[in-house]
């Protein structure tokens, strides 16, 4: 299936790379562009936490829109940390998960990981998968 977000990382390659980088569980992976997102992985804990697929999609849509607004329209603000010139990210604990949002080259990746996960290695892996440096 072709993504509405254009060419991007293969979901199996992305999941292998992210699981190889993360020390703990990767509970959710979504890749998003300007208008839509593709779910690469939804773990059992995330499925259990959200009553239905529609509820999960609505929650993720809200997070993706929030990130698009911050990263694309307003630029870099406090609370966002630059890793390299073209990569921006935000990490916060939300709903019992570490929520990592990485933006690189007009595309973003949303990850739900363990709250104490080491962020920098995941940012580097995500940015490489998104086509960054």
Contacts of 109 by beta carbon, 8 Å cutoff, 6+ apart: 29, 30, 31, 32, 100, 101, 102, 126, 129, 130
Domain that holds residue 35: 11-129
Task: Encode pLDDT of 6-44 as tens digits.
Answer: 556 788 999 999 999 999 999 999 988 767 778 899 999
Domains of the chain: total: 1
Domain assignment present for 69: yes
List all residues 6 or more positions away from 93 whose beta carbon is below 8 Å from its beta carbon: 99, 115
- Beta-bridge partner residues of 94: 97
The CA distance from 95 to 82, in Å, is 25
Residue 120 lies in a domain: yes
Stretch (H or E) spanning 52? none
In a domain, 122, yes or no: yes
Q: Which CATH number characterizes residue 76's domain?
A: 3.30.450
pTM: 0.80
Query: Among 8-12, 47-51, 56-60, 77-81, where is mean pLDDT lowest?
Result: 77-81
């Amino acid at each position: 299936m072709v993504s509405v977000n254009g060419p991007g990382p293969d979901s199996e390659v992305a999941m292998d790379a992210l699981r190889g980088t993360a020390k703990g569980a990767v509970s959710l992976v979504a890749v998003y562009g300007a208008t839509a997102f593709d779910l690469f992985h939804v773990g059992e804990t995330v499925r259990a936490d959200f009553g239905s697929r529609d509820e999960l999609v609505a929650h993720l849509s809200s997070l993706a829109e929030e990130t698009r607004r911050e990263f694309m329209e307003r630029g870099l603000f406090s609370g966002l940390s630059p890793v390299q010139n073209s990569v921006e990210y935000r990490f916060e604990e939300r709903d019992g998960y570490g929520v990592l949002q990485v933006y690189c080259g007009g595309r973003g990746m949303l990850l739900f990981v363990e709250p104490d996960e080491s962020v920098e290695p995941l940012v580097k892996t995500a940015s490489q998968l998104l086509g960054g440096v």
